[in-house]
Structure 1
Amino acid sequence: MQTIQANNYPVHFNEKGYEALNSHLKTTKYSNVFIITDSNTNEYCLHKFLPYLETDLTIEIIEFEAGEINKNIDTCIEVWKVLTDLGADRKSLVINLGGGVVTDLGGFVASTFKRGVDFINIPTTLLSMVDASVGGKTGVDLGNLKNQIGVINVPTMVLIDTQYLETVPQNELRSGLAEMLKHGLIFDKNYWEQFLDISTIDFSDLDLLIHRSVVIKNEIVMQDPTEKNIRKALNFGHTLGHAIESYFLENENKTTLLHGEAIAIGMILESFISWQKKLISEIEYRQIKLAINAIYDAVQIDKNDLQPIMDLLIHDKKNEFGTIQFALIDGIGSIKINQLVENELILSAFEDYKS
Structure 2
Amino acid sequence: MKTIKAVSYPVHFQEESYQELSQLIQEKDYSTLFVLVDENTMEHCYPKFIPNLKTDKTIEVIEIESGEINKNLETCVGVWNAITELGGDRKSLVITLGGGVITDMGGFVASCFKRGVDFVNIPTTLLSMVDASVGGKTGVDLGVLKNQIGLFANPQMVIVDNQYLTTVTEREIKSGIAEIIKYGVTYDVSLFENIKKNKENNISDLIFRSVEIKNEVVLKDPKEKDLRKILNFGHTLGHAIESFYLESEDKENLTHGEAIAIGMVCESYISNKELQFPIDKVHALKEVVCAIYDKIQLLEKDFTAILNLLKHDKKNVNGQVNFVLLNDFEDFKLDCKVPEVLIKESLQFYNS
| Shift in Å, 1:279 | 4.0
Aligned to 1:228, the other structure's residue is in SS state coil
Partner of 1:234: 231
Partner of 2:22: 22
Partner of 1:283: 280
Matches within 5 A, 1:186-205: 186-198=186-198, 201=199, 203=201, 205=202
Distance 1:202 1:80, change over 3 A: closer
- Aligned partners of 1:188 and 1:334 also within 8 Å: no
Partner of 2:97: 97
The residue type equivalent to 1:133 in the other structure is: S
- Aligned partners of 1:131 and 1:214 also within 8 Å: yes
**Structure 1 stretches of 4+ moved >6 Å:** none
Matches within 5 A, 1:108-257: 108-198=108-198, 201=199, 203=201, 205-257=202-254
The residue type equivalent to 1:265 in the other structure is: I
CA RMSD of aligned residues (A): 0.8
- Aligned partners of 2:194 and 2:200 also within 8 Å: no
The residue type equivalent to 1:49 in the other structure is: F
CA distance in 1, matches of 2:228, 2:85: 38
The residue type equivalent to 1:187 in the other structure is: Y
CA distance in 2, matches of 1:260, 1:239: 13
Using structure 2 for the length normalisation, give the TM-score.
0.99
Using structure 1 for the length normalisation, give the TM-score.
0.98
CA distance in 2, matches of 1:323, 1:45: 42
Flag structure 1 segments of 5+ consecutive residues without an equivalent: none
CA distance in 2, matches of 1:78, 1:191: 40
CA distance in 1, matches of 2:217, 2:332: 12
Instruction: Give CA-to-partner distance per residue, 1:235-281, whole Å, 9 cap, x none.
Output: 00000000000000000011100000000000000000011113411
Instruction: Give CA-to-partner distance per residue, 1:289-340, whole Å, 9 cap, x none.
Output: 1111111111011111100000000000000111000011221122211111
Instruction: Give CA-to-partner distance per residue, 1:9-36, whole Å, 9 cap, x none.
Output: 1000002211111111121121111000
* Residue 338 (str. 1) matches residue 335 (str. 2): yes
CA distance in 2, matches of 1:277, 1:242: 21
| Shift in Å, 1:197 | 2.8
The residue type equivalent to 2:351 in the other structure is: K
The residue type equivalent to 1:39 in the other structure is: E
Partner of 1:321: 318
> Percentage identity across aligned positions?
54
- Aligned partners of 1:197 and 1:291 also within 8 Å: no
- Aligned partners of 1:123 and 1:133 also within 8 Å: yes
CA distance in 2, matches of 1:293, 1:249: 21
| Shift in Å, 1:202 | 5.5
CA distance in 2, matches of 1:17, 1:111: 23
Q: Which moved more, 1:300-309 or 1:273-282?
A: 273-282
CA distance in 2, matches of 1:305, 1:269: 15
Question: 303, 306, 331: which one pairs with 2:303?
Answer: 306
The residue type equivalent to 2:111 in the other structure is: S
Q: Which moved more, 1:334-343 or 1:115-124?
A: 334-343
The residue type equivalent to 2:263 in the other structure is: G
CA distance in 2, matches of 1:311, 1:277: 21
CA distance in 2, matches of 1:45, 1:190: 31
Matches within 5 A, 1:69-88: 69-88=69-88
Aligned to 1:97, the other structure's residue is in SS state strand
Partner of 1:5: 5
Q: Which moved more, 1:72-81 or 1:278-287?
A: 278-287
Question: 283, 293, 298: which one pairs with 1:296?
Answer: 293
Instruction: Give CA-to-partner distance per residue, 1:211-238, whole Å, 9 cap, x none.
Output: 0000011111111101111111100000
CA distance in 1, matches of 2:348, 2:310: 18
Partner of 2:345: 348
- Aligned partners of 2:316 and 2:322 also within 8 Å: yes
Aligned residues: 352
Matches within 5 A, 1:29-68: 29-68=29-68
Aligned to 1:294, the other structure's residue is in SS state helix
Flag structure 2 segments of 5+ consecutive residues without an equivalent: none
Distance 1:293 1:224, change over 3 A: same
